[in-house]
Structure 1
Amino acid sequence: MTQLTRLRDEMRQRGLDALWVSRPANVRYLTGFTSPADGKVLVTQERATLYTDARYTVQAAEESALPQFIARPPATYEHAAADVGRGVVGFEADHLTVAGLEELEAAWPDATLKAAPGLVEELRSCKDDREIEAIRAAQALADRVYAEVRPMIRAGLREADIALEIEQRLRRAGATNAFDVIVASGPRGAMPHGTASDRVMQDGELVTIDMGACLNGYNSDMTRTVAIGTPTDEMRRVYGAVLEAEEAAVQAVKPGARAADLDALARGILERHGLAEAFAHSLGHGVGLMVHEAPGLRGTSEDVLKPGMLVTIEPGAYLPGVGGVRIEDLVLVTEDGYEVLSQAVKETV
């Protein structure tokens, strides 16, 4: 079943005659167009059209099998009006701006516009074989780059030096950073999103490295925490607790598992180690065309794991003024369990 066929089935279930797609990742997913920030898609039960402007005439024709209409608004909306008519048109309410919605209302006065958030995202949450292989390749590259850079993580170097090495090596391999590299050493390890700074790493500290590769549009994501020299007994205890929680949650990944239950499993282990309050974020998230996408592995999530989902498992513990630990794997949900795609070594500290 093609992506558009699946999408049209979902549209019928929601009572939509058409869907106006504006979120860049969703545009790329449906079209293959690699400049999706400058594209939109109108999907009806009969046809789908990629809208972009004249800067991309050649590129869109080369990359997308969908028919294209090359113009800018208002000509874009005028062309789409013939397919929209008096129908019910869904729009991505979690992406389209108020001004953008007002433009659609003015351009299609006979249509009924209906918020339809998450429609394409739900389809994207389960990857096909091509997407899985793309993410597998991105993660394999990230693993390789991490292994090359790991010996450089030592006292006397700046966090920024490590981040620069990671970025340069990814770029030489034809990829980019999936996100700003996190290198958080010593007390900065208490910052879950402590992107690399000019701080000089010191002996006896833990250093958290959170990195990913974006290769051919698809992302990877993993985290390792390593020691420079010998850390304190307390931080070694925290590391052991986080590792226990991470490995237990990974082993619980399977089709039918509730995302909220996985979060509770990891959180319960950290609670038993006296670190409940130190776990300041959710257990994980989906990965694909975006680094953070469905499903969400958090306590309030209603998501249930399905084969083809790619998720992170990343418990952490953060002690302000002291330091922190996070360990993260990228995990594929298989037909009967899981496969860990991230193969970088988890060290004993």
Structure 2
Amino acid sequence: MGTEILPDERALRHGRRARALAQMHADDLDILVLGRQANARYVAGAQQLWVAGTRPFGPVATLVRDTGAVHLLSTWDEGIPEDIPHDNLYGLAWNPLTTIEVLRRIDGASTARRVGTDAMSPTFAQLLPQAFPQAELVDGEPAMSAARRIKTPEEILALRRALAVAQTGLAASVAALAPGVSEQSLIGILLEAMAAGGISTPASQDSAWVTSRAHPWQRAGAQRRVGAGDLVAFSAGILGEGYIGEVGRTWPADGEADAGVHALYRRWDVLWDRLVEACRPGAVAADLLTAYELAGEALPPMPVARGLGMGFDAPVVSPLLRQTAEAERLEPGMVLSVTSYVWEPGVGAVFGRDAVLITTDGAEVLTDAPHWPH
């Protein structure tokens, strides 16, 4: 395997940039100043450091509507697309005034009327008007969110590649499942298999757990070791080419189960069918919450569905944000990560997570990892 850092494929990055520029036209934004890593990679096509924690806002990438030019924070040329010239790169500076001077020299900065940013800090709220003296500073995240919610064909291919690696890790971990094995061992096997598949950046590290028979949303206990008759949930997630691929499944510890487990899986089947039915173009996103209610299952505390892409894309469908979900419509080109979860006291839980592409005439499930043959 080579170690060369390469930019995203030309068709992938140009398709995304075209969507961002179109949304800038729609929102009347002359310039977008982006600090969030996923947004920066979306418009630039250059690999960004995976930063999972909170950090202050800083201009990482700037997109100019009239010229389509991208200006990018980078201390080297390796991995930078050929359509971003060296003169459009600027280094990391401890003094924010140095960065402001870089932005001020961008063609169009002095005449821009509306400049959007995807985040803000008190310092840059004071300094950015120096770079864009004629501009009104507005929230640019809605434009990026609108652009990212619909995936280009090349993005869907990238998601398929990421999902394939995640499913490889899942299969390896399931193959090692047996009474007595620890959750940590299962997680290690899963991560090792995904790294062998070419991706060493997990989207999450807590990827296997014994479901509780006493509480619907808790682990089985502190020992973190699989026992006979346990239902074990797996959640494999990776970050590949900037895209998150994730898949979830639940398997009995010893491959066999009693009537109670079979009945729980049949309930899961009913719920999953309802969820897929809700994934149709033009549907209200809240229909995914209604699917749980129609199946007679309790809504989970985690989101039932969320946009899958470079991190969390719109929409986020959660019982805690029902009013927001009522206002969202599903559109062709959206890819959702859909969570299905049922629980029975004394038995445990069956958890599933699948990627679903909204098409013009329904839904296509992109994940094909096998379920326990119940």
So what's the TM-score if we normalise by structure 2?
0.80
The alignment status of 1:32 with 2:45, answered yes or no, reads: yes
Within a 5 Å distance, the mapping from 1:210-249 to structure 2 comes to 210-229=235-254, 230=256, 234=260, 236-249=262-275
Asked if the contact 2:338/2:353 (under 8 Å) is kept, the reply is yes
Within a 5 Å distance, the mapping from 1:262-273 to structure 2 comes to 262-269=288-295, 272=296
How many Å apart are 1:326 and its aligned residue? 1.5
Q: 1:258 aligns with which of 279, 284, 291?
A: 284
Q: 1:224 to 1:197 in 2, by over 3 A?
A: farther
Q: 1:328 aligns to what SS in structure 2?
A: strand
**Residue 103 (structure 2) aligns with:** 80
Q: 2:78 aligns with which of 45, 53, 58?
A: 58
1:261-294 deviation line (CA, Å, top 9, x unaligned): 122123321xx3xx42x6323321111122x322
The structure carrying a bigger helix percent of its residues is 1
**Aligned partner letter, 2:282:** G
Structure 1 Cα separation of the partners of residues 42 and 338 of structure 2: 24
1:241-279 deviation line (CA, Å, top 9, x unaligned): 23311122114422222211122123321xx3xx42x63
**Residue 293 (structure 1) aligns with:** 313
Within a 5 Å distance, the mapping from 1:75-114 to structure 2 comes to 75-82=98-105, 83-86=108-111, 87-93=113-119, 96-105=120-129, 107-114=131-138
Asked if the contact 2:173/2:187 (under 8 Å) is kept, the reply is no
User: Could you list the runs of 5+ residues in structure 2 that have no partner in the other structure?
Assistant: 1-13, 52-58
**Residue 209 (structure 1) aligns with:** 234
Q: 1:244 to 1:15 in 2, by over 3 A?
A: same
**Residue 162 (structure 1) aligns with:** 186
**Aligned partner letter, 1:264:** T
Asked if the contact 2:168/2:197 (under 8 Å) is kept, the reply is no
How many Å apart are 1:321 and its aligned residue? 8.9
How many Å apart are 1:190 and its aligned residue? 5.2
How many Å apart are 1:187 and its aligned residue? 1.9
**Aligned partner letter, 1:216:** E
How many Å apart are 1:311 and its aligned residue? 0.9
Task: Figure out how many residues of one structure are paired with residues of the other and give that number.
Answer: 338
How many Å apart are 1:90 and its aligned residue? 1.0
**Aligned partner letter, 1:80:** L
Structure 1 Cα separation of the partners of residues 242 and 258 of structure 2: 41
How many Å apart are 1:31 and its aligned residue? 0.9
State the identity %. 25
**Residue 54 (structure 2) aligns with:** none
Asked if the contact 2:169/2:191 (under 8 Å) is kept, the reply is no
How many Å apart are 1:206 and its aligned residue? 0.6
Structure 1 Cα separation of the partners of residues 15 and 227 of structure 2: 53
User: Could you list the runs of 5+ residues in structure 1 that have no partner in the other structure?
Assistant: none
So what's the TM-score if we normalise by structure 1?
0.85
Q: 2:333 aligns with which of 295, 300, 308?
A: 308
Alignment root-mean-square deviation, CA: 3.0
Structure 1 Cα separation of the partners of residues 21 and 161 of structure 2: 30
